[in-house]
């Protein structure tokens, strides 16, 4: 990973100059996604299948965390309901693209003719994302009107509403049981492509005038309002974009795992992704990427201890809950000692160009 960064550093130095802000933020986004690309390619070429599977899960988390950053990082309002959109995306494609033979087994009584409907994966994904967008626009209307704390609580309420619908509308969502038979059409290469796209998108939004205005209104609502910034509209915009990215993560998850169930998209996912974003630093897209890389590796290590390890001749018992404790401790310590996370205020490309400039002097 570090080698990849070093190799590209001169190219960055040359490219950081262009005058257009758009180009600069586009290149910035690409630089930020380089570590992800490097790790992805390394896994694609060298890692055994088991690790590829783990990596796919980590990439889904990455997309979720970047989506979370789009709302939380810019509006500075805690969102605890984003996994609802991940779930909606995943169930959307599950209902639309699962082969009919499988549907006869899993949801034979689905309403609105879904039981006899089978679309190709791409149009299913598009329709699922449109549905996510509509639900996000409606919920965002409410959330963008509320003050910070109330907005957070309503985002939680949204999560509970969606989860409870998944559980109880058994004809359509199959309830508590796993929904299986979704076509497995996404592998690591597609996952990488989408990760890069999403990272660049998040960066473009952050640097756009809307992103800038939203960040300004989060820092000082009065000053921003005095400048004529419509914070509600901007919050709604970032909420919908964030939901769409999370929905995309859900779509990709369904297409690589082939099996989904409601509990995947509940508090556990919220805990994981929130801790990742906080550890990395929610103000920047780089922070989101850093947090995912570090915690994915860390959590995998802790999970191997959690399931019981043998050191020498001593067999340690199962330690269920250890990874949860670690996640919580990461959040609490970060908040107490470094609320801006590891990466702080600067994006990777900004850090690199500062570093290069200092060396050039």
Task: Write out the residues near another protein by the rule CB under 8 A.
Answer: 76-78, 80, 139, 141-142, 145-150, 152-154, 156-158, 160-161, 164-165, 167-168, 221-222, 225, 271, 274-275, 278, 319-325, 327-332, 335-337, 339
Q: Which residues pair with 145 in a beta bridge?
A: none
| Comparison of 44 and 153: residue with beta carbon closer to another protein | 153
| Comparison of 104 and 338: residue with beta carbon closer to another protein | 338
Report the chain's C-alpha Rg in angstroms.
21
| Minimum distance, C-beta of residue 189 to another protein, in the bound complex (Å) | 34
| Minimum distance, C-beta of residue 40 to another protein, in the bound complex (Å) | 29
DSSP state of 47: S
Contact between residue 239 and residue 85 where contact means Cβ atoms under 8 Å apart: no
SS3 260: strand
| Comparison of 173 and 253: residue with beta carbon closer to another protein | 173
Name the helix (H) or strand (E) containing 106.
helix 100-106
CA dist 255 and 40 (Å) reads: 18
Contact between residue 63 and residue 245 where contact means Cβ atoms under 8 Å apart: yes
| Comparison of 124 and 217: residue with beta carbon closer to another protein | 217
| Comparison of 159 and 249: residue with beta carbon closer to another protein | 159
| Minimum distance, C-beta of residue 179 to another protein, in the bound complex (Å) | 17
| Comparison of 11 and 320: residue with beta carbon closer to another protein | 320
| Minimum distance, C-beta of residue 330 to another protein, in the bound complex (Å) | 8
Contact between residue 223 and residue 216 where contact means Cβ atoms under 8 Å apart: yes
| Minimum distance, C-beta of residue 133 to another protein, in the bound complex (Å) | 19
Contact between residue 199 and residue 289 where contact means Cβ atoms under 8 Å apart: yes
CA distances from 259 to 106, 161, 256 (A): 12, 22, 9
CA dist 109 and 104 (Å) reads: 8
Contact between residue 286 and residue 343 where contact means Cβ atoms under 8 Å apart: yes
| Minimum distance, C-beta of residue 342 to another protein, in the bound complex (Å) | 15
């Amino acid at each position: 990973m570090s080698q990849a960064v070093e190799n590209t550093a001169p190219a960055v130095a040359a490219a950081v100059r262009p005058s257009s802000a758009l180009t600069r933020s586009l290149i910035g986004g690409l630089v930020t996604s380089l570590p992800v690309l490097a790790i992805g390619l390394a896994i694609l070429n060298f890692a055994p299948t088991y690790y590829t599977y783990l990596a796919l899960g980590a990439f889904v988390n990455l997309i979720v965390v970047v989506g979370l950053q789009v709302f939380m990082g810019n509006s500075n309002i805690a969102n605890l309901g984003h996994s609802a959109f991940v779930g909606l995306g995943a169930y959307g494609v599950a209902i639309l693209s699962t082969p009919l033979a499988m549907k006869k087994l899993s949801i034979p009584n689905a309403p609105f003719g879904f039981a006899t409907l089978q679309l190709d994966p791409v149009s299913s994904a598009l329709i699922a994302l449109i549905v996510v967008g509509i639900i996000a626009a409606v919920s965002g209307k409410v959330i963008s009107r509320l003050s910070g704390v109330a907005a957070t609580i309503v985002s939680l309420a949204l999560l509970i509403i969606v989860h409870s619908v998944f559980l109880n509308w058994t004809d359509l969502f199959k309830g508590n049981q796993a929904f299986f038979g979704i076509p497995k059409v996404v592998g690591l290469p597609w996952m990488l492509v989408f990760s890069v796209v999403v990272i660049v998108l998040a960066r473009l939004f952050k640097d756009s005038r809307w992103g800038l205005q939203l960040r300004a209104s989060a820092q000082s609502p009065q000053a921003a309002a005095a400048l004529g910034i419509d914070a509600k509209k901007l919050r709604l915009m970032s909420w919908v974009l964030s939901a769409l990215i999370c929905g995309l993560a859900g779509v990709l998850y369904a297409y690589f795992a082939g099996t989904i169930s409601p509990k995947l998209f509940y508090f556990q996912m919220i805990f994981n992704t929130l801790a990742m974003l906080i550890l990395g630093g929610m103000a920047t897209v780089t922070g989101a990427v850093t947090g995912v890389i570090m915690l994915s590796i860390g959590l995998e290590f802790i999970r191997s201890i959690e399931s019981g390890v043998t050191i020498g001749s001593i067999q340690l018992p199962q330690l269920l809950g250890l990874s949860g404790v670690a996640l919580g401790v990461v959040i609490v310590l970060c908040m107490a000692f470094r609320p801006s996370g590891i990466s702080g205020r600067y994006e990777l490309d900004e850090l690199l160009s500062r570093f290069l400039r200092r060396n050039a002097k």
